[in-house]
C-alpha cells in the first residue's frame, strides 16, 4: 500500500496554493441574522455549519524535546558509558478538535495532534483561547480527550450515529488546514469499513470520504447534513486527491467513555502467543505464501482455546483483514475492544478454516505475569519511571544486564512514567522479537535493544 500520512499540522506555507481552496465559515457562523436573499440560499450544509462551527476549535501543540540518550550497545551499558549531553528542540504543530461536552469543557481530537506536547493552546471561533490538559489519549485508536482550563458555557456538537452511514451521503468537514481557521469542505461518504496502514500502525473500520482534508484538519469533525458528529478526521492518502479517512464516532465514543471512566482503554487479546511464518515453515505447512501468525502457545480457558485454536495453526486473517506477520496481527487486534466478537481465518492441515470467538481483557494481572515470563522483569511505580523490582536469570532482561533499581523510562519510543505505562507497553509489544528500551541508572540515561 502506498504511504498514508496523518492530516496533521504544518505551519502556514504554500499560501498561494492554499488560498485558492480555502473557504471560511467564520462570517456565516457569527452573522446574527440573514437577509431574505441569503435565506433563500440556505442549504442543509449551511445550517449544519452555522450550528456546529462555534464548537470547532483550533489546537496548537508545543513540543519541547531534550535529546540526551543515544543508541548504545550492551557493551556500553555494562560499562556504564553515559549518553552525550543533549539540546532542547522546540516545535509547534497545529490541528483541530470539536467540543463534545460544553459543561465539562471536553474536546475530542486525534492523539497524534497532542502526542508529546508540553503545552496545548485551544482557540474557539469567537476568539477565546484556553490552555488545555490531556485527560487521556489512546494512540492505537488515534483518539485524545482534552479539558480546557477555566472555560465555561462552551458550545458543543450533537452526537450522531455512524452505524447507519450510507455511501454517497453528503458530509461536511471543518478544520484548521495549514492554519486557515475554520475551513469548511463538503463531499460524500466514499466507502465504509476501510483499513489503512499508517506510520503509527493499522487502523480499521474507517470512513472514507472525498471531502477535502489537509494537514491541520486532524481531529476536526466530520458532520452529516443534520449537523451531527459522525466522524473524526484523521488521515489523508498523500498519493491521491479526494481520499481522506475519519474515525467513526460510534467507535470513538466507546474509546472516550473508557478514557473518562477509567483513564485508559482496555486492551483485547485472544490468549495466545505466536511468531512469524518463515519460508521454510510455509513450505512444510504447504502454505501458498509465507505470511501469517504461527500459533505456538494457547492459554487455558482463553478465547483461542475455547474457539478450538491450537498450536501449529496459522492465523491468516483477523476480522476479514490479512495478517502478514505478528506486528500486523497486534495492530489489527488493538482496533477491537475486550469481549467483542471477531472472526479468525486459519491455515490448518493444508486448508483454510474460519472460527468465531470473542476477545478477552488483557488485564494488568495477566500482563504482569506474562511480562515476568517473556521479558524477565517486574516493575513498580518510581520517581523517574517504572522501577525494576525483579530480574529473572537467563531471561532477555537478565542477559541484557538490567538490575533491580533501574528505571524503565521508555519502551519502543513511548514514555513510561508509571507501572501501568510499562504494562501497556508490554501488551502492545509482547509478541515482538526485540524492543528498544530507555533505561535510567543513577543519573545516566541509556538506550538499549533487548532481544526477546
Question: Helices 419-429 and 326-334 sit at what angle, rounded to 10 degrees?
Answer: 120
Q: Annotate 73-138 with DSSP letters as a single string.
A: -HHHHHTTPPPPP-EEEEEEEEEEEEEEETTTTEEEE-HHHHTT-SEEEEE-TTS-EEEEEEEEEE
Q: How far is CA 397 from the centre of its chain?
A: 28
Query: Cα–Cα distance between 428 and 370 in angstroms, integer?
Result: 13
Cell, residue 102: 460544553
Could you tell me which of 239, 177, 236 has the C-alpha nearest to residue 2?
239
* C-alpha dist (Å) from residue 76 to 72, 73, 79: 6, 5, 5
101 catalytic, yes or no? no
Choose the catalytic residue: 9, 112, 156, 406: 112
Choose the catalytic residue: 96, 105, 162, 218: 218
218 catalytic, yes or no? yes
Strand partners, 298: 272
Query: Cα–Cα distance between 275 and 292 in angstroms, integer?
Result: 8
Contact between residue 26 and residue 125 where contact means Cβ atoms under 8 Å apart: yes
- 168 CB burial (10 A radius; 0-12, 13-18, 19+): exposed
* C-alpha dist (Å) from residue 78 to 74, 81, 399: 6, 8, 11
264 catalytic, yes or no? no
Choose the catalytic residue: 142, 406, 424, 429: 142
Question: Helices 364-374 and 419-429 sit at what angle, rounded to 10 degrees?
Answer: 70
Any idea which residues carry the catalytic annotation? 112, 142, 218
Amino acid at each position: 500500500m502506498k504511504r498514508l500520512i496523518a492530516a496533521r499540522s504544518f505551519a502556514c506555507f504554500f499560501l498561494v496554493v492554499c488560498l485558492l481552496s480555502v473557504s471560511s465559515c467564520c462570517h456565516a457562523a457569527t452573522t446574527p441574522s440573514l437577509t431574505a436573499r441569503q435565506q433563500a440560499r440556505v442549504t442543509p450544509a449551511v445550517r449544519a455549519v452555522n450550528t456546529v462551527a462555534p464548537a470547532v476549535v483550533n489546537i496548537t501543540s508545543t513540543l519541547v524535546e531534550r535529546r540526551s540518550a543515544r543508541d548504545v550497545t550492551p557493551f556500553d551499558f555494562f560499562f556504564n558509558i553515559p549518553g552525550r549531553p543533549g539540546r532542547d528542540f522546540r516545535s509547534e504543530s497545529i490541528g483541530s478538535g470539536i467540543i463534545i461536552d460544553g459543561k465539562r469543557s471536553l474536546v475530542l481530537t486525534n492523539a497524534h495532534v497532542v502526542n508529546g506536547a508540553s503545552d496545548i493552546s485551544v482557540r474557539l471561533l469567537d476568539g477565546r483561547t484556553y490552555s488545555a490538559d490531556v485527560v487521556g489519549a489512546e494512540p492505537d485508536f488515534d483518539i485524545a480527550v482534552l479539558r480546557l482550563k477555566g472555560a465555561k458555557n462552551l458550545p458543543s456538537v450533537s452526537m450522531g450515529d455512524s452505524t447507519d452511514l450510507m455511501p454517497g451521503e453528503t458530509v461536511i468537514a471543518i478544520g484548521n488546514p495549514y492554519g486557515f481557521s475554520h475551513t469548511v469542505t463538503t463531499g460524500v461518504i466514499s466507502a465504509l469499513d476501510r483499513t489503512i496502514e499508517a506510520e503509527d500502525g493499522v487502523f480499521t473500520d474507517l470512513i472514507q470520504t472525498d471531502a477535502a482534508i489537509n494537514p491541520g484538519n486532524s481531529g476536526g469533525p466530520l458532520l452529516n447534513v443534520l449537523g451531527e458528529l459522525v466522524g473524526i478526521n484523521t488521515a489523508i492518502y498523500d498519493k491521491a486527491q479526494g481520499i481522506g479517512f475519519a474515525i467513526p464516532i460510534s467507535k470513538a465514543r466507546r474509546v472516550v467513555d473508557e478514557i473518562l471512566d477509567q483513564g485508559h482503554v482496555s486492551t483485547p487479546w485472544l490468549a495466545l502467543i505466536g511468531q512469524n511464518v518463515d519460508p521454510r515453515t510455509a513450505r512444510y505447512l504447504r502454505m501458498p505464501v509465507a505470511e501469517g501468525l504461527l500459533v505456538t502457545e494457547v492459554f487455558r480457558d482463553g478465547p483461542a482455546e475455547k474457539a478450538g485454536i491450537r498450536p501449529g495453526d496459522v492465523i491468516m486473517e483477523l476480522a476479514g483483514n490479512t495478517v502478514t506477520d505478528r506486528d500486523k496481527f497486534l495492530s489489527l487486534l488493538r482496533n477491537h475492544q475486550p469481549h467483542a466478537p471477531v472472526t479468525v481465518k486459519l491455515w490448518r492441515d493444508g486448508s483454510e478454516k474460519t472460527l468465531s470467538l470473542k476477545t478477552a481483557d488483557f488485564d494488568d494481572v495477566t500482563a504482569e505475569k506474562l511480562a515476568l515470563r517473556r521479558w524477565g522483569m517486574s516493575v513498580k511505580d518510581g520517581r523517574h519511571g517504572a522501577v525494576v523490582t525483579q530480574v529473572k536469570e537467563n531471561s532477555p532482561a537478565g542477559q541484557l544486564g538490567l538490575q533491580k533499581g533501574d528505571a524503565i523510562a521508555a519502551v519502543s519510543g513511548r514514555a513510561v512514567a508509571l507501572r501501568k505505562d510499562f504494562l501497556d507497553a508490554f501488551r502492545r509489544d509482547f509478541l515482538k522479537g526485540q524492543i528498544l528500551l530507555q533505561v535510567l541508572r543513577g543519573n545516566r540515561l541509556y538506550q538499549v535493544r533487548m532481544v526477546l
